[in-house]
Amino acid sequence: MGHYVPHTDAEIVQMLTFLGMSSLDELFASVPEVLRLAGGLDMADGLSEPDTLDAMERLAERNRRAGRELVCFAGGGAYDHEVPSTVRRVAFRSEFVTAYTPYQPEVAQGVLQALFEYQTLLCRLTGMEVANASLYDGASACVEAVNLAVSATGRQTVLLSDGVNPNWRQVLETFAAGTGHDYIRCDVVNGVTRWPDDVQPAALLVQYPNYLGCLEDLAAARQLADKTGALLLVAFDPVAAGLLHSPGHFGADVVVGEGQPFGTPLSFGGPYLGLFACKRDHVRRLPGRLVGETVDADGRRAYVTTLRTREQDIRREKASSNVCTNQTLIAVACAVQLAWLGTEGLRELAVRCARGTRYTREALLAIDGVEPLSDAAVFREFAVTTPTSGDVVVERMAEEGFLAGVPLGDEYGERGLLISVTERRTRDEIDAFVAAFEKVIR
């Protein structure tokens, strides 16, 4: 079992030849050395499957888990928000868990209605006119937003803010190798994006709040988009929408985001939920699945997937997207939590995050050697610099019982650390975190 792979040696050679590579080591050369297993697992040859699984479980138990063993102050795209018991109870009913693709609306009214309600809630959250039934995650939603913009404008160049999640930017650049899109990176200066004014792009892509937690000037981005005839694409934080103006308020053409904060635990990084909404003008370019409301032969309210005879389904060579599905169960969980919170509940959630973030930030900045990475206003997370590297701080804080944050690395500064505070963090936890932080940087 330890050496089992589902490919023959001949198939592996054929694959490598097609890729123009000489070995599997060359194929995996992009994987950082620190993540590679240099000498194989220290396991005896010929172990039975139960013995092998037992050994792997013991290895897994050496990990320390956020929520049980580590108090989580990490964010950067995945957040330790509360998932109410109501959400788990409703979303994981067998009707939703076992629902199949709703090709036959006469037997899928329940899940279709749930997705229609999800779309409606997302339109309210984003301030847009139409939303799809979800995409895979925030990164893929960004890709599809760019595809839509290029299709709509006929241009290939996209202004990409360095304030967009770097993982999402990597996905965008990977897809661009096939689509031919040209990204112009735009610097973040003191927490906000500095846009060039001498380019005629297809779109501007900005995150709000951005990866560093700072509030971008969407009005300025909209003004530049109008000046250049570009679309404004906004990757927004759905929790922040409880407190801040929606991207639609600023005139965004397409709004995308990560829906994980509503109804989905951290879950080792996925599966998550890609949010996607746009102006009605672009509905024919909308990727993925779209549920509409109509009436049946007896005049009763009914729901169907609509606009399905689009290029992405029947004329793939002309398609702006090849996504024809959605994250149904996770979208339903998101809709249940949004409905459970309501307008006031969402505002209370956002306010609690913002207050906890401000309290934590001020307490950390009172420690000698801790400095803000920028002076821009923040919402739920913020970046600081410390006397030592962010990686070292995270490692030391784990010994104190905290997942301290996300090291920012070379792009934003080796000594930078991104810290997030959700509604789950109590004042006692924050005070203990600050005390441990001061201890480890000494």
For residues 194 and 187, the answer to whether their CB atoms sit within 8 Å is yes
What range defines the domain where residue 326 resides? 85-336
Per-residue pLDDT tens digits for 171-216: 999 999 988 999 999 999 999 999 998 999 999 999 999 999 999 9
Separation between Cα atoms, residue 246 and residue 137, nearest integer Å: 20
Task: Indicate if the pLDDT at residue 300 is higher than 60.
Answer: yes
Separation between Cα atoms, residue 270 and residue 289, nearest integer Å: 20
- Give the β-pairing of 231-236 and 254-258: parallel
For residues 129 and 279, the answer to whether their CB atoms sit within 8 Å is yes
Alpha-carbon Rg of the chain, whole angstroms? 23
- Give phi and psi for 189, each to the nearest 5: -115, 120
| CA atoms in the 13 A half-sphere facing the CB of 342 | 2
- Coil, strand or helix: which one is 412? helix
For residues 242 and 422, the answer to whether their CB atoms sit within 8 Å is no
The more confidently predicted of residues 187 and 45 is 187
Give yes or no: residues 89 and 79 share one domain. Answer: no
Interacting residues of 318 by C-beta distance below 8 A, sequence separation 6+: 311
Would you state the pLDDT for residue 309?
56
Give yes or no: residues 317 and 421 share one domain. Answer: no
Would you state the pLDDT for residue 311?
52
Local structure of residue 378 (DSSP, 8 states)? B
Task: Indicate if the pLDDT at residue 1 is higher than 50.
Answer: no
Per-residue pLDDT tens digits for 301-341: 999 999 865 555 666 677 778 888 899 999 999 999 999 99
Would you state the pLDDT for residue 187?
96
Give yes or no: residues 390 and 409 share one domain. Answer: yes
pTM for the structure as a whole: 0.88
Q: E-strand spans in 142-210?
A: 157-161, 182-186, 188-189, 192-193, 203-208
Separation between Cα atoms, residue 406 and residue 417, nearest integer Å: 6
Sign of the torsion formed by the C-alpha atoms of 7, 9, 11 and 14: positive
Tell me how many degrees the CA angle 274-277-278 measures, rounded to the nearest 5: 145
Domain assignment of residue 65, yes or no = no
Give yes or no: residues 249 and 145 share one domain. Answer: yes
- Could you tell me the pLDDT band of residue 355, with boundaries at 50, 70 and 90? very high
Separation between Cα atoms, residue 427 and residue 437, nearest integer Å: 15
What are the DSSP calls for 354-376, one per residue? HHHHHHHHHHHHTSTT-EES--S
Sign of the torsion formed by the C-alpha atoms of 334, 282, 139 and 209: negative
Tell me the β-bridge partners of 303.
Answer: 293
- Coil, strand or helix: which one is 84? coil
Task: Indicate if the pLDDT at residue 276 is higher than 50.
Answer: yes
Separation between Cα atoms, residue 301 and residue 167, nearest integer Å: 42
The CATH number of whichever domain residue 352 belongs to comes to 3.90.1150.10
For residues 248 and 109, the answer to whether their CB atoms sit within 8 Å is no
Task: Indicate if the pLDDT at residue 420 is higher than 50.
Answer: yes
Q: Give the mean pLDDT of the chain.
A: 92
Separation between Cα atoms, residue 126 and residue 214, nearest integer Å: 18
Give yes or no: residues 366 and 383 share one domain. Answer: yes
Average pLDDT over residues 253-280: 94
Would you state the pLDDT for residue 85?
93
Separation between Cα atoms, residue 64 and residue 155, nearest integer Å: 47
Give yes or no: residues 100 and 76 share one domain. Answer: no
- Coil, strand or helix: which one is 254? strand
Last residue of a domain, one of 306, 336, 366: 336
Average pLDDT over residues 392-421: 94
Is cis: bond before 238, omega within 30 of 0? Answer: no
Give yes or no: residues 76 and 90 share one domain. Answer: no
The CATH number of whichever domain residue 90 belongs to comes to 3.40.640.10
**Which H/E stretch holds residue 71?**
strand 71-72
For residues 210 and 164, the answer to whether their CB atoms sit within 8 Å is yes
- Could you tell me the pLDDT band of residue 94, with boundaries at 50, 70 and 90? very high
Sign of the torsion formed by the C-alpha atoms of 95, 99, 104 and 110: positive
- Could you tell me the pLDDT band of residue 2, with boundaries at 50, 70 and 90? very low
Interacting residues of 401 by C-beta distance below 8 A, sequence separation 6+: 69, 70, 71, 436
Would you state the pLDDT for residue 403?
96
Give yes or no: residues 364 and 332 share one domain. Answer: no
Last residue of a domain, one of 312, 336, 360: 336
